[in-house]
Structure 1
């Protein structure tokens, strides 16, 4: 396993903040109710979590008792905070010792910037379900968020290539947990721009409204076509705006994650295997199908000419190239102008070395027939990558 595909992730926070519970919900298929039987983490629990086949998260779940926190900052400082890709720090918003909690976070942030300056920082302000009813406008969350961002800005000033700091309100009882952890995984994927470019191409080719890829085990959304995962409506591209993506639920991917994981638990109890999902609504077709061994593709289309079977066929014909694109690949051998252009633009350390790339007789994955050459079938028409894959 190359170092490029193994990423160290620290999971830290005071004891009782919910670190191990959220880890168990995301990676061990626990329900929120199941986490009640979990005990406190002692010192550091390491686990290797394989995502999408070639990306491995080296997850360090660090116990949050005061003695352990002090030890991380003194005796284990270099061991804990070196070569970190992402620090996930969990706060309990109901804590009565907020100032003390913030002090520990400041010490950890300082150690991280000294040893892994470019690490990303994801702050999860947890147990929001316990305060939302009393604070519907989330004023407390807004204050906590502003305080943490100001602290990061102060400690990151003058640090070369300081990683980003993002903050999420979370609860193990709703889909907010999936949104936060999906953002982490999205950040860690080395070839995310390449994958996004391919998803956008697939969307345009098949006349879909939106295409997204989910990781097979955690069912976290990895990437989507067009605009970024957390883009505001004004940031949608022209294609998305024309097809009504802006009217879709802002939490749609997180809700899909939660629903599918719950349904898969039901399948396991009944001895069944989850293979996919399709639904034909009034003016909308939704298909969720395996893309590769470790991923599922979600396709949403509002084109009345497109059926679920046509969408599934297009997904199956795209599998070969999506497998070859991979996640941590650094040398490309399959002719594809998307790969060629993306490597030149975003991946300076990668190599696009394709035999016959200049030969027009060698068909590329993204070579498609012109609109007039596509023959309708039974009154419908659709571009598919079938003949090019």
Structure 2
């Protein structure tokens, strides 16, 4: 398997920050309430997760106890930090040492990442929170990308969450730049109890996807041919959002919920889990109201597609368009993965 289709991603953070819980929710379809029974990660747990047929995510969940963190940064540094595509670092939003010892460990990880991946020193400046991803591809000329998740934000009062994240981002970015790290960083506030976790991880996964710009072009064509208002593409197993397109002519007249995609991911994952418990596998979903029609169905062996249309469009018409589009997108997927 080529290096382009195999991506090494580090999941790091101090013990108790929530790394293993979010991994179980995203990749093992566990409910948030069930993660309380999970134990702490010992040393490094490596798992290989397949996306879109040929893309393999090598996810390294690194134990966050002080002894393990010290080992990762010294004896295991070349093993852990070499050839990394992306680093996902988790901070506990309620930690009393958030901007002291917790940040010190993070800065040490950035230093190790830079030393083991020299190209990261020339990476682009960080993107602002919530902004589009950098144009240069992480792991190539831009070096590894760093995603910083300020986790357990549900414990922070709602009216203080935005300011806490902004203050944290400014302070950590300042310290990272002062320490000589010039690589790209993006910051997100997350919680296992709402859709913010899916939003952050969808952005992470989008950085791993090949030919994403080309995929959006084809989705736009499908949107036009289907007379749809919006199309969302999900990865089949995790139900993370891969890409989405919206009819610009209608978007000006519609108040879209900014978190709609992540909320759909959360609801569908919960619904699929409920189906599996009664031994009734999830296949597709159709919703019809006087205002819109929505069809969620498999598009390729690795993806699901959600097609939303306004007006008097029959579900059968959307289902037919999805069925007719499957061979094209399956071929596009294979080309993108180099198969």
TM-score band, normalised by shorter chain: 0.7 to 0.9
The CA distance in 2 between the partners of 1:187 and 1:327, in whole Å, is: 18
Q: Deviations over 1:119-172 (max 9, x none)?
A: 111111000111125x54543222112112323444566x5xx4x311110000
Partner of 2:144: 119
> Within the alignment, does 1:218 sit opposite 2:225 as a pair?
no
SS at match of 1:33: helix
1: distance between equivalents of 2:230 and 2:77? 44
Would you say the 8 A contact 1:9–1:59 is kept in 2? yes
2:74 is the alignment partner of 1:74:
yes
Q: Could you tell me which residue of structure 2 aligns to residue 17 of structure 1?
A: 17
Matches within 5 A, 1:233-382: 239-244=247-252, 247-302=255-310, 304-326=311-333, 329=336
SS of equivalent residue, structure 1 residue 101:
helix
Cα pair distance change 1:128/1:292, threshold 3 Å: same
2:190 pairs with one of 165, 170, 192? 170
Q: What is the SS of the residue equivalent to 2:248?
A: helix
2:168 alignment partner in structure 1: 144
TM-score (norm 2): 0.88
What's the offset of the Cα at 1:283?
A: 2.1
User: Of 160, 170, 193, which aligns to 2:213?
Assistant: 193
**Residues 194 and 9 (structure 1 numbering): CA distance in 2 closer, same or farther, change over 3 Å?**
same
Q: Could you tell me whether the CA contact under 8 Å between 1:196 and 1:223 is conserved in 2?
A: yes
| Secondary structure, counterpart of 1:222 in structure 2 | strand
Q: Is the 8 A contact 1:5 1:54 kept in 2?
A: yes
Deviation at 1:295? 0.7
- Residue 380 of structure 1 aligns with which residue? none
TM-score (norm 1): 0.77
The separation in 1 between residues aligned to 2:22 and 2:297, in whole angstroms, is 26
131, 141, 145: which one aligns with 2:156 = 131
- How big is the shift at 1:97? 1.4
Match of 2:105 in 1: 104
- 2 CA distance for matches of 1:210 and 1:321? 19
* Unpaired segments ≥5 residues, structure 1: 227-238, 333-389
Tell me, which stretches of 5 or more residues in structure 2 are unaligned?
Answer: 121-142
Conserved 8 A contact 2:53-2:337 = no
Partner residue, 2:131: none
Partner of 2:202: 182
Q: Check conservation: 1:7, 1:56, Cα contact below 8 A.
A: yes
CA RMSD of aligned residues (A): 1.8
Q: What is the DSSP-based 3-state SS (H/G/I as helix, E as strand, rest coil) of the residue aligned with 2:191?
A: coil
Give the direction of change, closer, same or farther, for the CA distance of 1:152–1:321 in structure 2 (3 Å limit): farther
Preserved CA contact (<8 Å) 2:153 2:161: no
Q: Secondary structure at the match of 1:84?
A: coil
Selected match of 2:226 from 206, 221, 224: 206
Count residues in correspondence.
314
User: Which fold has the larger relative contact order, with Cα–Cα distance below 8 Å and residues 6 or more apart in sequence?
Assistant: 2
* Distance (whole Å) between structure 2 residues aligned to residue 285 and residue 248 of structure 1: 15
